[in-house]
């Protein structure tokens, strides 16, 4: 048995800011995906995944039934039969591995589910986000619900605020485009919870809160507007500003060995780096006006192009 595929996602802009109700922009990333599956001879990974699904099933029984209900009998039967999540999405890399699993479980087992084919009003999108937030909290302690939403719908999502999200269009890909968004592999697995707790601790300082509002959120929102408007020149100006702010104020979220590389990008303008998800490891997101130059400058690092424009 194998279920439909659910894709990874990339939060292009908005990490940390969306916790404080600022804008965000999330896009599906079809390079990685996952599906629910049962095998005759399961691998060790499949057995591990099945174990963690058992814990998830127990958790789902406690989720508010006014919000969402599942066909628990069928879900338990499948998990007992060894069902697991067969996924190529790297865990702890900020590309939504738990989000894809949550989307797959909702898609297959939720009763009265909101489907992708119906008219997705703002109310329906918010309801889905709330459901996914409750489900994904099992993995992160606190979840915005955006990763599963992106994975479930497989369309770009613009987050205007907690209560205002919408499906959006993004500039079309140009395969020969020099401008590019890329992923840089840090080679380290990142943990979301400790990074979020560092952020929450920093939020207790007035100076940090002011920087977040006046610089981090301001530049993030400018980047989103530029990207959606296709204003490339302004986009790179604002991405550079954002990259600087992150280097100065989010150092613990950037693996130590990438501090100099980050700085070099800002100084040479060959690329600009930013956090991909909560940071601390996993992928680092990069933006460049010339992908060939960036590849040269980042020789020796694992780089994947996500989007040419």
**CB within 8 A of 246, min separation 6: which ones?**
216, 253, 254, 262, 273, 274, 275
How far apart (Å, rounded) are the C-alpha atoms in residues 124 and 153? 12
Helix (H) or strand (E) holding 12: strand 6-13
- Coil, strand or helix: which one is 245? helix
Return the pLDDT at 174.
87
Of 276, 275, 270, 273, the C-alpha closest to 297 is 270
Rg (CA), the chain: 19
**Please, are residues 102 and 148 in contact by the beta-carbon 8 Å criterion?**
yes
Rounded to whole angstroms, how far apart are CA atoms 196 and 194? 5
How confident is the prediction along the chain (309 residues), in pLDDT tens digits per residue? 789 999 999 999 999 998 888 999 999 999 999 999 999 999 999 999 999 999 999 999 999 999 999 999 999 999 999 999 999 999 989 999 999 999 999 999 999 999 988 888 999 999 999 999 999 999 877 788 999 999 999 999 999 998 899 999 998 888 888 999 999 999 999 988 899 899 999 999 999 999 999 999 999 999 999 999 999 999 999 999 999 999 999 999 999 999 999 999 999 999 999 999 899 999 999 999 999 999 999 999 999 999 999
CA-nearest of 94, 83, 93, 101 to 7 is 101
Q: In angstroms, what CA-CA distances link 139 with 69, 145, 280?
A: 19, 11, 17
| Packing angle of the helix pair 44-62, 97-109 (nearest 10 deg) | 60
Query: End-to-end distance of the chain based on CA atoms, in angstroms?
Result: 38
* CA 202/CA 216 separation, integer angstroms: 14
| H or E element in which residue 132 lies | helix 122-140
Percentage helix, strand, coil, to 5, in the chain? 50, 20, 30
């Amino acid at each position: 048995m194998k279920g439909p595929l659910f894709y990874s996602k990339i939060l292009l802009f908005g990490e940390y800011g969306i916790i404080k109700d600022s804008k965000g922009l999330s896009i599906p990333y079809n390079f990685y995906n996952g599906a629910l599956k049962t095998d005759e001879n399961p691998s060790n990974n499949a057995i591990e995944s099945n174990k963690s699904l058992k814990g998830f099933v127990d958790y789902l029984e406690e989720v508010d039934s006014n919000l969402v209900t599942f066909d628990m009998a069928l879900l338990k039967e499948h998990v007992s039969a060894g069902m697991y999540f067969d996924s190529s999405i790297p865990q702890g890399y900020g590309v939504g591995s738990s989000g894809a699993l949550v989307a797959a479980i909702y898609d297959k087992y939720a009763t009265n589910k909101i489907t992708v084919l119906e008219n997705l009003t703002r109310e329906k999108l918010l309801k889905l986000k709330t459901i996914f937030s409750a489900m994904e909290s099992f993995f992160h302690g606190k979840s915005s619900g955006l990763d599963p939403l992106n994975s479930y719908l497989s369309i770009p999502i613009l987050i205007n605020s907690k209560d205002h999200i919408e499906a959006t269009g993004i500039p079309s890909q140009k395969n020969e485009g020099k401008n590019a968004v890329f992923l840089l592999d840090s080679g380290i697995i990142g943990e979301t919870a400790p990074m979020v707790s560092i952020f929450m601790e920093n939020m207790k300082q007035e100076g940090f809160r002011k920087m977040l509002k006046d610089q981090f959120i301001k530049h993030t929102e400018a980047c989103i507007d530029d990207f959606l408007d296709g204003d490339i020149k302004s986009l790179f100006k604002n991405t550079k500003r954002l990259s600087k702010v992150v280097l100065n104020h989010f150092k613990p979220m950037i693996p130590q060995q990438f501090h100099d590389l980050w700085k070099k990008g800002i100084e040479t303008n060959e690329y600009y780096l930013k956090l991909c998800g909560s940071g601390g490891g996993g992928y680092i997101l990069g933006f460049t006006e010339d992908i060939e130059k960036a590849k040269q400058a980042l020789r020796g690092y694992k780089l994947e192009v996500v989007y040419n424009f």
